[in-house]
Amino acid sequence: MIMAIALYFTLFWGYEALRVLTSPTYGLEDVWRSQYVFGLGSYFKLQPMGLMKLAAFFGALKLAVALTCAIHIVDRLRHVAGGKANTDVLEAGLIMVVAISVAAAGPAAWTQNSDLLREQVLHLLLAAVAVALCLVERNYSRRAVSPVLASTLPRAEVLSPLR
């Protein structure tokens, strides 16, 4: 499931970032996908050049997220071949997903655009599920790696009100 979420962000956010960064107006011609840029730009009173810089900034951040997710997919494939997967890179990418989604959800909530807000909430939910699964996996791997350490620790008494 973690790998599927990483693949989602790699494909969709990578495509979005490449679309924005290869466009002469940094994706501002697509009004639907750039509403959060216009919303944030109006909040900060940005001029047209400032809007283009903000759109390029978000495009670069989305490309960074896509690359970190792609690195994690390669790391997972290496794990299947016998290595050890490290989820720290994915968690850093997911932190950026949360930051971008929250920044994009603000203008959607201000303008009461439920469709755009729904899209950002989907990204937030996927990031939350991936982080939760990473935490479960990390906890499981710690228990599986150190059973000797766990057996050497003294057991604490369980407090019971019926004693």
Whether 147 maps to a domain, the answer reads no
Task: Tell me the per-residue pLDDT of 61-106, one tens digit each, with 9 for 90 and over.
Answer: 999 999 999 999 999 898 888 767 788 889 999 999 999 999 999 8
Q: What pLDDT, on a 0 to 100 scale, did the predictor assign at position 107?
A: 86
Whether 102 maps to a domain, the answer reads yes
Please tell me the total count of domains within the chain.
1
Whether 162 maps to a domain, the answer reads no
The string of DSSP codes covering 51-106 is: HHHHHHHHHHHHHHHHHHHHHHHHHHHHHHTTS----HHHHHHHHHHHHHHHHHHH
Whether 153 maps to a domain, the answer reads no
Range of the domain at 93: 1-142
Global confidence as pTM: 0.81
Whether 152 maps to a domain, the answer reads no
CA-wise closest residue to 66 among 83, 42, 85, 90:
90
Whether 109 maps to a domain, the answer reads yes
